[in-house]
């Protein structure tokens, strides 16, 4: 079956010169990735660093064509897409820095010694690549979370081959990005099979089940993620499944903050909810606002600004239909009042919606707690700290937890502590939409936000998902990996006999 590219703004369809990948072809691709991973893991670190830099360069070289393709398939504005592509190139260069640093290997040496528990042998520990990684691209970021996204870049940085499942919302863009990455691989003489790309639902299933695949990275819906997670665990040899499954992302306005800057807060929240037509996994979907006049002013400002946004074109007809279905369920099952409601729209087009419910009802009605992917938010009105706490405890754990406070706010400390228990990132007096690529970023959270709360899909620590530790005991020096040899030929940071030793990475032959 041939693959079709669709413009969500106009409904125009283009048949691509590519078909859905058969299960047999997927298995063959995974086998090549297995062979490539073994060779790739043996390559010098500075070679790996150069490969990641070359991939950034090839993406930038194709920028005009890639943005035009993504514009057709997503209806996202050109400035947004150019910014996202720039971030994606930066992401590859950032992981080149992670490789250069060498600390991601977590190399540790304990020389043979006598101890209170008796003689200890020579023990040396390092992280090694897990093997081929399956990556499932997302719908909402055709570059940064798709074929050339963070899962791909971090897996390559870890030393793993990658086979990517293209998202059906932007197949032409996926194929074009893959061409750019493949050019870089050829330019650097990478092992054949280091990169693979598959199309189609059955291909995704076959990819998770392929024996050579050692781990999976997924960004998408809870339903699809759970199905693939089950497949990963049902294999004869289960494998790690790192799924980012979405989140309603509570945002709290304290009574003091509402008193201080109600109108500005409402406008700021509305801008965050509407950003990207509400199709960010970090969109604040649950807005906790105090009862009373100050809270009324926040909600009125939020509603006025949100009602003036749009109409919106969502990423696909399917996403728009799911949005309408989810919004109707919130209104019908949750019993929320509708404060802002434009036309439901047809095909991929729709309008923003703002619902309102009291905190006690929110705590009772499970339907109100789920993420609704699109331009919708639920204002939850609370009467005091205890009612707020009960409502927040009822909300599902999330990727982010935001709180807007005033200076010397009596509620601030308790809310930050609560947020740290229930989310992967806590934001104070800011908005959570957008995720920065950095050494300290954590993009994850407790279930159901992700399948592994300790893992991140963004930032330097993302590389850790694709590594596993190995300890070498009494292994002769010539049989040790370079990271564990006494002379430290890689020049990396290591812990030797309990003391952290700084490295000086040389260029050439690492």
Peptide bond into 448 cis (omega under 30): yes
The catalytic position among 84, 244, 309, 371 is 244
The catalytic position among 84, 281, 371, 372 is 281
3-state secondary structure of 155: helix
Residue 501 designated active-site: no
Q: What gap in Å lies between CA 110 and CA 174, rounded to an integer? A: 46
Residue 387 designated active-site: no
3-state secondary structure of 46: helix
69's CB contacts (< 8 A; 6+ apart) are 170, 172, 173, 176
Q: To which H or E segment does residue 337 belong?
A: strand 337-341
Asked if 84 and 69 count as a contact pair (C-beta separation under 8 A), the reply is no
Concatenating the DSSP letter of every residue in 222-252 gives: HHHHHHHHHHHHHSSS---EEEE-----EEE
Per DSSP (E only), the strands in 396-479 are 398-404, 423-428, 467-473
Q: How many CB atoms lie within 10 A of CB 472?
A: 16
**Residue 412 phi, psi (nearest 5):** -65, -50
Q: How many CA atoms lie within 13 A of 121 on its CB side?
A: 9
Catalytic site positions: 244, 281
């Amino acid at each position: 079956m041939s693959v079709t590219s669709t413009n969500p703004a106009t409904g125009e369809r283009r048949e691509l010169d590519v078909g859905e990948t058969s299960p047999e072809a997927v298995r063959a691709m995974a086998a090549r990735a297995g062979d490539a991973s073994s060779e790739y893991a043996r390559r010098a670190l500075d070679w790996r660093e150069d490969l990641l830099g070359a991939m950034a360069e090839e993406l930038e070289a194709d920028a005009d064509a890639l943005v035009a393709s993504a514009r057709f398939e997503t209806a996202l504005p050109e400035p947004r897409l150019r910014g996202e592509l720039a971030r994606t190139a930066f992401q590859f260069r950032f992981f080149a820095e992670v490789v250069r640093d060498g600390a991601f290997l977590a190399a540790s040496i304990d020389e043979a010694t006598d101890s209170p528990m008796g003689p200890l042998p020579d023990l040396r520990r390092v992280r090694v690549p897990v093997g081929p990684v399956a990556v499932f691209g997302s719908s909402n970021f055709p570059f940064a979370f798709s074929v050339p996204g963070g899962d791909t870049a971090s897996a390559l940085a870890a030393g793993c081959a990658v086979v990517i499942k293209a998202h059906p919302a932007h197949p032409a863009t996926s194929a074009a990005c893959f061409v750019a990455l493949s050019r870089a691989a050829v330019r650097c003489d990478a092992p054949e099979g280091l990169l693979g790309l598959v199309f189609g639902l059955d291909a995704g299933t076959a990819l998770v089940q392929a024996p050579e695949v050692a781990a999976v990275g997924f960004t998408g819906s809870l339903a699809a993620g759970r199905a693939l997670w089950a497949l990963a665990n049902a294999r004869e040899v289960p494998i790690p499944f790192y799924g980012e499954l979405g989140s309603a992302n509570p945002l709290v306005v304290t009574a003091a903050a509402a008193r201080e800057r109600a109108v500005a807060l409402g406008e700021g929240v509305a801008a965050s909810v509407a950003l990207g037509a509400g199709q960010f996994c970090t969109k604040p979907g649950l807005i906790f606002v105090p009862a009373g006049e100050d809270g009324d002013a926040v909600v009125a400002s939020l509603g006025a600004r949100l009602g003036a946004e749009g109409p919106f074109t969502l990423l696909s007809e399917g996403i728009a239909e799911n949005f309408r279905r989810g919004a109707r369920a919130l209104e019908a099952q949750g019993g929320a009042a509708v404060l802002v409601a434009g036309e439901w729209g047809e095909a991929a087009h729709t309008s923003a919606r703002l619902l309102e419910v009291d905190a006690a009802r929110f705590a009772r009605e499970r339907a109100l707690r789920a993420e609704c992917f699109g331009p919708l938010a639920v204002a939850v009105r609370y009467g005091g700290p205890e009612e707020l706490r009960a409502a927040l405890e009822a909300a599902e754990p999330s990727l982010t937890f935001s709180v807007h406070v005033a200076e010397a706010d009596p509620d601030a400390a308790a809310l930050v502590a609560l947020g740290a228990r229930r989310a992967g990132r806590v934001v104070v007096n800011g908005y959570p939409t957008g995720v920065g690529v950095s050494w300290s970023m954590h993009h994850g959270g407790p279930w159901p936000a992700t399948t592994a709360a300790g893992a991140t899909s963004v930032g330097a620590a993302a590389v850790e998902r694709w590594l596993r530790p190995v300890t070498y005991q009494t292994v002769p020096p010539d049989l040790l990996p370079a990271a564990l040899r006494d002379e430290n030929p890689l020049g990396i940071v290591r812990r030797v006999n309990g003391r952290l030793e700084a490295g000086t990475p040389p260029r050439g032959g690492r």
